[in-house]
Chains A and B, each alone.
Chain A
Amino acid sequence: MTVIQVDHVSRWFGNVVAVNDVTMTIGPGVTGLLGPNGAGKSTLLHMMGGFLSPSTGTVTLDGAPTWRNQEIYRHIGLVPERESMYDFLTGREFVVANAELFGLATPGADAQVAIDTVEMEYAADRRIATYSKGMRQRIKMASALVHQPSVLLLDEPFNGMDPRQRMQLMDLLRKMGAEGRTVLFSSHILEEVEQLAHHIEVMVAGRHAASGDYRQIRRLMVDRPHKYTVRTSDNRALAAALIADASTSGVEFDPREDVLHVQAVDFVGFTRRLPKVAREAGIRLFEVSPTDESLESVFTYLVGAR
């Protein structure tokens, strides 16, 4: 069992504060590090992986500092975000090289296990230069798993993966979490994190904005004004009925699209009230869809709520 402890850690680059007084504990199981781009997720991961010194505070792995401590890599598997690898090698050569660098006794056999785990056997003897983004991601995974680490750190691992590859990787990470490994991955996409991680750490603008069960986080995020697009048998009549109802704070009729844009007061209340209001007014609902909002606005709300 391995625990990563981040204790009052800040990191700045010149005048820019990338990580601001963050304290968190990452234990066994899958944890999602969620936050918009530029929130400091990568900086935090780099400090956990020993590639960056905290400006203040400490990052430890089972009590041992991660900075300038090469021994931690016996326990850490690292999947960086950047694409570059030794492109002139084949996938297998790359994983074998990693196994050798970890000092494993049987690099060939260990590499084979890792390649099988990420299901890359079919392309293992092709040069990495010919790989797609998803294949690169998987061979990176294999290289990080080859020494059976107790901690796996992944920086935006789902970027550029197609849905099938994404599902495969999620299954794999779930399995690793269930085996008692400490798996931490970063992502800026809430759905991704929600599907995979039970425990979520949210970073916004360098700050540790929220921490906990994904349901709690979700509630924090949904318990707030939301925008919906609604299409009905009588848009103008429903607009009138809705604005009269307490669940709604604003309605806009869009004649070109023939839809309503509704600003709801809160997520749960509105979804309960809408069918009733429509039925009372004798209006049929054809389409109700939440308008996709930028994650940034969700995070802004989340930070404001604390």
Chain B
Amino acid sequence: MNRTIARLTLRGLLSPRRLMLLALIPLVLLGVAVLLRLLVTDMPVDLGVGVVSSLAIGTMLPLVALICGTGAIATEIDDGAIVYLLAKPIPRATIVITKYVVAVGATILLAVIPTALASVILLGADAGLVAGYGVAALVGALAYCALFLLLGVVTKQAVVAGLLYVLLWESLIGGAVPGAQALSIQQWALSIGAKISGDGLLSAAVKMPVGAALLVAVAGFGLYFAINRLRSLTIAGDS
């Protein structure tokens, strides 16, 4: 961790205006949760589980992680400002890890905590489910951010690539083809949440040990390759 890099990354990532715009995403989720709570009397647990699983874990978490993960590094690589970090006697690993921590922190603020809040609003009575969703969102954030940070280092089209993964693979294909679900961060994260909630309402396409192992693998490899790639990142000149 390097405090200066963290500060620069955070200020670049969450300018007041951007923070206000980004905050709309969790606010929509919380708005939906409050509305449902007020309008539906005797809310079935299924409905609450469905909303938190698809809206919070399935949509908001990956989108926020995508914005934070790529935004933490891709913008600087794109405009060349990264050179001011690279031309310093600082290990590349420190740069990547610091940016990862900042991205995860921002995702916790904008997606993990709102997910926990939404599950309190919708499923308040079931402490197991609330804890399950909170933890699922947290481990999901850890894996997503590593993946999207890596995308930010390896491709200029990081946001597009990330959106394709989230919308096409996880939502569309994952929703239609059961086998594809086994290869999605969302399901791996939910497998841990399911284990914690313990009452069978929260389900996932993979078993907990598999999901946990794959999450660790994605986060680990993502960071490892990002560090490696940054080490040999060449700064293209204008001419």
Take A101-B84, A143-B84 as given contacts and tell me if A81 and B237 are in contact as well, using a CB distance cutoff of 8 Å.
yes
Interface check B5, CB cutoff 8 A: yes
Interface check B42, CB cutoff 8 A: no
Q: Determine how close the nearest CB of chain A comes to the CB of B135; give it in whole angstroms.
A: 34
**How many pairs of residues, A versus B, come closer than 8 Å at their CB atoms?**
82
Q: Determine how close the nearest CB of chain A comes to the CB of B49; give it in whole angstroms.
A: 41
Give the residue name and chain of the A residue nearest to B11 (CB).
Answer: A88
Contacts of A89 in B (CB 8 A): 8, 11
CA distance A98 to B87 in the complex (A): 10
Q: Is the CB of A84 within 8 A of B87?
A: no
Q: Is the CB of A70 within 8 A of B88?
A: yes
Interface check A150, CB cutoff 8 A: no
Q: Pick the contact of A53 from B88, B91, B232 — CB < 8 Å? A: B232
Contacts of A68 in B (CB 8 A): 231-232
Q: Is the CB of B237 within 8 A of A100?
A: no
Interface check B2, CB cutoff 8 A: yes
CA distance A102 to B4 in the complex (A): 10
Q: Pick the contact of A85 from B81, B92, B232, B234 — CB < 8 Å? A: B81
In the complex, per-residue mask of B118-162: 1 if CB is within 8 Å of any chain A CB, else 0: 000000000000000000000000000000000000000000000
Q: Determine how close the nearest CB of chain A comes to the CB of B157; give it in whole angstroms.
A: 19
Give the residue name and chain of the A residue nearest to B82 (CB).
Answer: A84
Interface check A4, CB cutoff 8 A: no
CA distance A46 to B238 in the complex (A): 11
In the complex, per-residue mask of B65-101: 1 if CB is within 8 Å of any chain A CB, else 0: 0000000000000011101111111111000000000
CA distance A86 to B75 in the complex (A): 11
Q: Is the CB of B4 within 8 A of A100?
A: yes
Q: Determine how close the nearest CB of chain B comes to the CB of A148; give it in whole angstroms.
A: 14
Contacts of A74 in B (CB 8 A): 89
Interface check B41, CB cutoff 8 A: no
Q: Is the CB of B237 within 8 A of A97?
A: no
- The interface stretch among A35-43, A192-200, A244-252 is A35-43
Identify which of A42, A51, A89 gathers the most chain B CB atoms within 10 Å of its CB: A51
Contacts of B15 in A (CB 8 A): 88
Interface check A306, CB cutoff 8 A: no
Q: Pick the contact of A84 from B5, B79, B90, B234 — CB < 8 Å? A: B79
CA distance A49 to B83 in the complex (A): 10
Q: Is the CB of B84 within 8 A of A98?
A: yes
Interface check B220, CB cutoff 8 A: no
Q: Is the CB of A42 within 8 A of B238?
A: yes
Q: Is the CB of A73 within 8 A of B89?
A: yes
Contacts of B91 in A (CB 8 A): 70
Q: Pick the contact of A86 from B81, B86, B239 — CB < 8 Å? A: B81
Contacts of A50 in B (CB 8 A): 87
Q: Determine how close the nearest CB of chain A comes to the CB of B85; give it in whole angstroms.
A: 7
Take A46-B234, A53-B232, A86-B84 as given contacts and tell me if A97 and B7 are in contact as well, using a CB distance cutoff of 8 Å.
yes
Q: Is the CB of B81 within 8 A of A84?
A: yes
Q: Is the CB of B239 within 8 A of A42?
A: yes
Identify which of B86, B89, B233 gathers the most chain A CB atoms within 10 Å of its CB: B89
Take A78-B83, A85-B81, A86-B12 as given contacts and tell me if A46 and B237 are in contact as well, using a CB distance cutoff of 8 Å.
yes
In the complex, per-residue mask of A225-269: 1 if CB is within 8 Å of any chain B CB, else 0: 000000000000000000000000000000000000000000000
Interface size of A by Cβ–Cβ distance < 8 Å? 35
CB within 8 Å of B: which A1-55 residues: 37-38, 41-43, 45-46, 49-53
Interface check B35, CB cutoff 8 A: no
CA distance A143 to B90 in the complex (A): 16
CA distance A82 to B239 in the complex (A): 10
Give the residue name and chain of the B residue nearest to A11 (CB).
Answer: B234
Q: Determine how close the nearest CB of chain B comes to the CB of A249; give it in whole angstroms.
A: 35
Q: Is the CB of B80 within 8 A of A101?
A: no
Interface check B235, CB cutoff 8 A: yes
Q: Is the CB of A155 within 8 A of B89?
A: no
CA distance A84 to B81 in the complex (A): 5
CA distance A86 to B90 in the complex (A): 18
Give the residue name and chain of the B residue nearest to A153 (CB).
Answer: B87
CA distance A81 to B239 in the complex (A): 10
CA distance A53 to B239 in the complex (A): 17
Can you list 18 A-B contacts with CB-CB less than 8 angstroms, sorted by A residue number? Answer: A42-B239, A50-B87, A51-B86, A68-B231, A68-B232, A73-B88, A74-B89, A81-B237, A82-B238, A84-B79, A85-B81, A86-B8, A86-B81, A89-B8, A97-B4, A97-B7, A101-B5, A101-B84
Residues of A within 8 A of B (CB): 37-38, 41-43, 45-46, 49-53, 68, 70-71, 73-74, 76, 78, 80-82, 84-86, 88-89, 97-98, 100-103, 143, 155
Apart from A46-B237, A80-B80, A101-B85: 13 A-B pairs, beta carbons within 8 A: A38-B239, A52-B234, A68-B232, A73-B88, A78-B83, A80-B83, A81-B238, A84-B80, A86-B84, A88-B15, A98-B84, A101-B5, A143-B84
For the complex of A and B, the 10 pairs showing the least CB-CB separation, nearest first, are: A42-B237, A84-B79, A82-B80, A100-B4, A101-B88, A51-B235, A84-B81, A78-B87, A84-B80, A52-B234
